[in-house]
Amino acid sequence: MKSQPSRNDYLRLRARYEPDYPRVIFVLESPPKSGLYFYNPEGSVSEPLFRAMMKDVLQISPRTKREGLAEFAAQGFLLIDATYAPVNHAQLSPRQRNKLILDEFPLFLDDLRIHAKPDTKLILVKANICELLEPMLAHSGFTVLNRGQKIPFPSTGHQNKFRDMVRPLFKLNQVFPRQGASN
| Residue 29 · residue 89 · CB < 8 Å | no
pTM of the model: 0.92
The span from the CA of 118 to the CA of 171, in Å, is: 20
CATH topology (fold) of 7-172: Uracil-DNA Glycosylase, subunit E (3.40.470)
Give the pLDDT band (50/70/90) at residue 183: very low
Average pLDDT over residues 74-82: 96
Give the mean pLDDT of the chain.
Answer: 90
Tell me the C-alpha to C-alpha distance, in Å, between residue 89 and each of 85, 86, 94, 104: 11, 8, 10, 18
Which residue intervals of the chain are DSSP H helices? Answer: 7-15, 48-52, 65-74, 94-103, 105-115, 127-139, 159-172
Which sequence spans correspond to the domains of the chain? 7-172
Which whole number is the average pLDDT over 79-89? Answer: 91
pLDDT (tens digit, 9 = 90+) per residue, 68-77?
999 999 999 9
Above 90 in pLDDT, residue 171?
A: no
115-156 residue pLDDT tens: 999 999 999 999 999 999 999 999 999 999 999 999 999 988
Lowest mean pLDDT among 12-21, 48-57, 161-170: 161-170
Per-residue pLDDT for 112 more than 80? yes
Question: Could you count the other beta carbons within 10 Å of the beta carbon of residue 62?
Answer: 20
φ and ψ of 182, to 5 deg: -65, 140
